[in-house]
Amino acid sequence: MRLIAHLLPLLLVAVLPALAKDDTTKDDKKTTSATDGILTLDGTLTSSISEATVPTGHYLSYTSTITLDNGHTVTSTGTGAESTVTSSSSSNGTTTSGNATMVSTSSESLTLLVGGGHTGAANGSTNATATASTSASSTPVVNTQPCNGYTEFCSRKYSNITMVAAHNSPFVKAGNAAANQAFPVTDQLDDGVRMLQFQVHLINSTLYLCHTTCDLLNVGTLEDYLTTVTKWIKTHPYDVVTILMGNYDYVAPGNFTTPIQNSGLMDYVFTPPKIPMALDDWPTVSNMILSGKRAVIFMDYQANQTAYPWLMDEFSQLWETPFSPTDSDFPCTEQRPPNLSQQDAEDRMYMANHNLNIDVSIASISLLLPNTAALNQTNAVSGYGSLGLMAQNCTAMWNRPPNFLLVDYYNDGNFNGSVFEVAAEMNNVTYSAKCCGTASAASNLMPGVSTMGALLVMAGVQFLVSSAF
């Protein structure tokens, strides 16, 4: 049976044209039926997301703030994980707090990083071009060193920036329907992606990066991926990178410490001064850069910040719009965590899920796969279903732009780099970089026209593997 499981993808690829021709459309559903002589596929592609595809892990809830001392350990917890107290922690750089100018002597290329507040507003939000603090008797301080690509970001709080996030960042594999990106993580970071999101699965005591199941798409170990990310962070000292890990199997957080330490990432991990971090609790980007703690790590489920303060619980500090949407309307309503109050939603960061999917149900298997055929509009700057329109709607609804724009195939859109243009508009800065990726990596992009055939291939593989074991 294992041999058949390995040979089946090759057999199915040979009959892709026949499979694609058997598609029929009726109303908002597509009924598929195809036979390759070995396996018959029958199923329905629906336009609405199945309840079974939305994660339902345990959500933490805090009523006050847990204090961390300078050693980043919990010193006061009130009544435990459900309570909190204000606190602070020291930073490891040559900085001062508040609105003061931050001067670094650690690098000749870094002249000044301006810390503090901001002025102006964009689209009714607080994301606006920042200015240096000045005095009447001195020359205005001008920062010339970009932070996360823009000098304006240096004086802004981490929670006051809109960042492009790569949905399922590691899942890059040509011709695989479960892939979500065209270019590897180094190219993603070079192009301006600043949040890396992905699923992690525990197999035989090792954490692997897999999409839904490791029989469908397995791109290697978490440790190897984080090693690559750490090398990039090490050579880009003026950038802050956010990592959002999906704990797919709901395993204990202690399983994540070894790969993070072995990758070298631990040297750069940011530990928050409070648990949880409210919107205004975050330091400025320049503060994080000067402290050297430039990797922010979130985990969606099973985080235990009293044991691992740096492995931050996502949903007590950040909320999301509807998960893996199949609706081109892309509503800006809060979905996870459920039942969040208006006040709590306004007091924390939020991520807009803008990766359009097809909900595939074949042979009793439910899969969410990227709708690659619609990428030019989904990742566009304007128009119905576009990233730009969604960001504008969210900004109007919440009086501030999303902190993270989660997208598939970030390089695609109505032009190369359109997702970064949207983020720049939200940040009130000018996007002038070139995008995207390298020529050698360009072949990884799966054309939208092959989506249906690839869906059937992957569904067939998953069905046989599940049946074989």
Q: Are 96 and 102 in contact (CB under 8 A)?
A: yes
Q: Are 327 and 290 in contact (CB under 8 A)?
A: no
- Tell me the average pLDDT of the chain: 76
- The predicted model gives 239-256 an average pLDDT of 97
β-bridge mates for residue 74, sequence order: 68
Share of the chain above pLDDT 70, in %: 64
Interatomic CA distance for residues 357 and 346, integer angstroms? 28
Choose the catalytic residue: 118, 201, 211, 354: 211
DSSP 134-190: --TTSPPP---S-BTTBGGGTTSBGGG--EEEETTTT---TT-TT---SS-HHHHHH
Choose the catalytic residue: 167, 201, 236, 354: 167
Q: pTM to 2 decimals? A: 0.76
Q: What amino acid occupies position 135?
A: S
Largest CA distance in the chain: 84
Q: Are 49 and 326 in contact (CB under 8 A)?
A: yes
* pLDDT above 70 for 21: no
pLDDT bucket at 113, cuts 50 / 70 / 90 = low
Reference 143, options 118, 189, 112, 117; nearest CA is: 112
Q: For tokens 């109007």, what's the residue?
A: 396
In this predicted structure, what is the pLDDT of residue 459? 44
58 is catalytic: no
Interatomic CA distance for residues 274 and 288, integer angstroms? 15
What is the homologous superfamily of the domain 161-449 according to CATH?
Answer: Phosphatidylinositol (PI) phosphodiesterase (3.20.20.190)
211 is catalytic: yes
Query: Of 1-15, 368-382, 384-398, which gets the smallest average pLDDT?
Result: 1-15
Backbone φ and ψ for 257, nearest 5 degrees, come out as: -70, -45
Between 108 and 269, residue with greater pLDDT: 269
Joined tokens for residue 72: 């980043």
* pLDDT above 70 for 3: no
